[in-house]
Copies of this chain bind each other. A is one copy, B any other.
Amino acid sequence: MKPETRDLLKKVSTATLCTALFKRGLRNQMIQDVRPLNPDAPTMVGEAFTLRYMPAREDRNGIAVFQNRDHPQRKAVEECPPGAVMVIDSRKDARAASAGGILVARLMQRGVAGVVTDGGFRDSPDIAQYAMPAYHVRPSAPTNLTLHEAIEINGPIGCGDAPVFPGDVVVGDGDGVVVIPAHLADEIAAEATEMTVFEDFVQEKVMEGRTILGLYPPTEEKSRTDFAEWRKAKGR
């Protein structure tokens, strides 16, 4: 994505982005059922860097596996680029953790933009204090070895029933996390920015007591001229 796209995306909502994607026939880009551990963090934006878990086979997932510096979970944490969002495919299984406070702290210190799993994080009270946004289904204390084996770094995955390809642009806010196909990120960001200006206008008018009929969408001429004036006045 273009550098300015990142800035634009930080100022729009996942709801608006979903509508822009819907207009292009993309209906399943929301990572279902994840929520922010730190709801006061700013909007999360970054290119997807993925990690895929498969079900753990007991003989391959003893506590000693982390002695291996090349263990994919640890490697992924050290390789995820600054500015990216790590997206973890945990097969929607939160019965064991996808990662814990130390690994998420390392991601944050490395300048990663955020982390998402369709499973759960352990040490969730700690992570909830971090500045870096993190999203999961629910807290989960058991070590990932209990149910998850990290098997692939940065391949195409599913997360919360959404398709995620490395390099897709991932945006998260209080509603959850949406995945924008890489080639659409710039145009979607621009369109969502425009939509947001109009939605802000509508929200203001509605709070002043105006009906939504003819205003949202602006089927009445007056709505369009009012918006043009408002926009000029606001300098947006």
Give chain A's interface residues, CB within 8 Å of chain B. 13-15, 17-19, 22-30, 32-33, 35, 39, 54-60, 63, 66-67, 69, 74, 77-78, 91, 93-95, 97, 100-103, 105-106, 109, 122-126, 128, 138-143, 145-146, 149, 151-152, 155-158, 161-163, 173-176, 178, 181, 199, 202-203, 206-207, 209, 211-214, 216-217, 219
Contacts and interface: CB of A to CB of B under 8 A. Distances in A.
B69 A214 contact: yes
B139 A66 contact: no
Given A54-B158, A56-B163, A163-B149, A15 B123 contact: yes
Given A95-B32, A105-B207, A123-B15, A156 B151 contact: yes
Nearest to A105: B206
Nearest to A157: B54
A33 B158 CA distance: 21
A70 to B, nearest CB: 9
Contacts of A213: 69, 74, 78
B102 A206 contact: yes
A67 B202 CA distance: 15
Contacts of A142: 15, 18, 22, 27, 30
B54 A163 contact: yes
Contact of A138 (B33, B57, B106): B33
Nearest to A178: B141
In this complex, the member of A26, A55, A66, A211 whose beta carbon has the largest number of chain B beta carbons within 10 angstroms is: A55
Contact of A109 (B78, B95, B155, B206): B206
